Amino acid sequence: AFNGTWKVDRSENYDKFMEQMGINLVKRKLAAHDNLKITLEQNEDTFHVKEVSTFRTLELDFKLGVTFQYSLADGTELSGSWVMEGDVLKGSFIRKDNGKTLTTIRQIVGDELVQSYSYEGVEAKRVFKKS
């Protein structure tokens, strides 16, 4: 269900979320128009991810339940994993610089992919359409 290429359509509270993450105004303004496109390809419990944005292009593989490293576009390093609960992908990642946890959920709602983020009491959402 997650397979395909997903292009960000809209975001909710993403600026506040990035602010809570400590990202400065200039970077937040750029990130608001990052044209993020995520391609997901699932094979049993392994996912191949291609991420394309105005910031960068990267590809990675992760296995459900297995910890991996991931860097945000600003260089902030995270370590964590995704698990599948029913039809929902749940991610829990720890920031290496301060030990704080960022959680995120991916789910299909109608014909959209909704990714929710939570960090230190602030939540945000980005909604992607299949392209």
Cα dihedral 114/118/121/122 (nearest 10): -60
**How many residues line the site for ligand MYR (CB under 6 A)?**
13
Q: Which residue of 6, 36, 113, 117 would you call a contact of ligand MYR, by CB under 6 A?
A: 117
E strand map for the chain: 4-12, 37-43, 46-52, 57-63, 68-71, 77-85, 88-95, 101-109, 112-119, 122-130
> Minimal CA–CA distance to 101: which of 83, 89, 119?
119
Tell whether residue 93 is a contact of ligand MYR (CB under 6 A).
yes
| Cα gap 116→114, rounded to integer Å | 6
User: Shortest distance, CB of residue 64 to ligand MYR, whole angstroms?
Assistant: 11
User: Shortest distance, CB of residue 49 to ligand MYR, whole angstroms?
Assistant: 5
Give the x-and-dash track for 47-86 against ligand MYR (CB under 6 A).
Answer: --x-x------------------x-x-----x--------
| Cα gap 93→78, rounded to integer Å | 6
Q: Which residue is nearest to ligand MYR (CB)?
A: 21
The residues that touch ligand MYR, with contacts defined as CB under 6 A, are 18, 21, 23, 49, 51, 70, 72, 78, 91, 93, 102, 104, 117
